[in-house]
A and B are shown apart, each in its own frame.
Chain A
Amino acid sequence: MPESPAKAKFSPASEATLKGESTRFFTFFNVILTLIGLTFIELIMIVLPFHQYVLLAGLLILSVIKFILVIWYFMHLRWDQLLLSALFILGLILATGTAIVLYFLFPAGESAANSEAPTVQQATH
């Protein structure tokens, strides 16, 4: 007697898989609560009277924590092979390094458009 196509395609998952995924289910909820909490902290930080550099550092640290939480848990790097982490981190290092070098290569407020800005404003007021 031929099996029905729907039942033949999905066999029951192993006990180990079911147990592992059930544990992850609660982990995912804890992670999302942490992510939402960190986002609220980011929003609260901007109204608190911290120094500019403290705020910048704080925002960067919070973003990095959120970033790591997502790739570590939601993207399964915690449970996957190290090669995948290494591959992704390589791309990340190249991207971050390029961004940092470029950012400090260009001095602040030196463009022609910026120097014209106050003149334009004075002319209109």
Chain B
Amino acid sequence: MSEATAPSIRPDEPEPHHGAATNTGIPNKKLAMWAFLASDCMFFGTLISTHLIYRRVNPDIVIDGNIVPATTIFDIELTSASTFILLMSSLTMALTVSAMHKHNVKAARNFLLGTIFFGGLFIGAQIFEFHHFVHNEAHPLTLTNTIFGSTFYVLTGTHGVHVLLGIIWLISWYVFSFSPKFAEEHAIDIEVTGLYWHFVDIIWILIFPLVYIIEYI
């Protein structure tokens, strides 16, 4: 029955997007996600600029009466590893979307699991980093003891929350992929989730040099 009524696709035509046709030819979910990401750009833009402005206005980080260079607070090796981990998660996410386009659910599931794993590693590294900063005996950096701490934790913490939400979203897709209701039309949903995940990655691509590496110059 389904084979007889399935729409025929010419080899030279791109495969149609699932769901209702739109005037733009872009699925509504995808358009909405891009609009959200554009607005999220502005959100992170304000957080990044707040951090940079306060670094410019207050060049010294004063903790317990001492000026502490940011390089003695940061652990650039750990942050570099986190960057590598997040980049790898972007690769596995892109491969998940690619596998879904090929209707290869098993491969998509494996790549999805890889993305969740890398995302979890990133969050783990960030929790370790925050714990290390806050409980540093020589110069503890907390949310309230310096302006640098406030802007740093708010910026990287907001990014971390985005990653965490992304992981929850990915886990829900992984679980749902075993449901009999999981079908071809969900490929676009996975793609939309992928857009969000890559966005989180590009924000980190900006945070890494503008917040961390810049302190070593």
Contact = CB atoms under 8 A, between A and B. Distances in A.
Interface in B85-118: 87-88, 90-91, 93-95, 97-98, 101-105
Nearest to A53: B217
Interface string B5-29: 0100101111100000000111000
Q: Is the interface of B mostly helix, strand, loop or mixed?
A: helix
Given A9-B182, A14-B15, A103-B49, A28 B91 contact: yes
Given A32-B90, A43-B76, A103 B31 contact: no
A31 B11 CA distance: 28
A14 B53 CA distance: 52
Contacts of B90: 32, 35, 70, 74
Contact of B209 (A21, A60, A70, A114): A60
A15 B15 CA distance: 10
A17 B67 CA distance: 58
B190 to A, nearest CB: 12
B172 to A, nearest CB: 18
Given A43-B213, A90-B38, A121 B65 contact: yes
Given A74-B94, A94-B42, A39 B83 contact: yes
Q: Is the interface of A mostly helix, strand, loop or mixed?
A: helix
Given A13-B102, A91-B42, A106-B53, A120 B213 contact: no
Given A25-B95, A39-B80, A87 B102 contact: no
A106 B46 CA distance: 14
A117 B103 contact: no
A88 B84 CA distance: 25
A49 B26 CA distance: 49
Nearest to B53: A106
Interface string A85-125: 00110111011101100110011111101101110110110
How big is the A interface, by class?
Answer: 35 or more
B155 to A, nearest CB: 12
Interface string A1-34: 0010110111111111110010011001101100
B84 A11 contact: no
A95 B83 contact: no
B206 interface: yes
Contact of B11 (A14, A32, A103): A14
Contacts of A17: 15, 101-102
25 contacts: A8-B2, A11-B6, A15-B11, A17-B101, A21-B98, A25-B95, A29-B91, A32-B88, A32-B91, A39-B83, A42-B213, A46-B213, A56-B214, A63-B205, A63-B208, A70-B205, A91-B39, A94-B42, A95-B45, A96-B45, A99-B49, A108-B59, A109-B57, A109-B59, A121-B65
Cβ-closest 10 pairs across A and B: A91-B38, A95-B45, A99-B49, A9-B183, A5-B180, A46-B216, A91-B41, A124-B65, A117-B60, A32-B91
Interface of B: 2, 6, 9, 11-15, 24-26, 30-31, 34-35, 37-42, 44-46, 48-49, 52-53, 56-60, 62, 65-67, 76, 80, 83-84, 87-88, 90-91, 93-95, 97-98, 101-105, 147, 180, 182-184, 191, 194-195, 198-199, 201-202, 205-206, 208-210, 213-214, 216-217
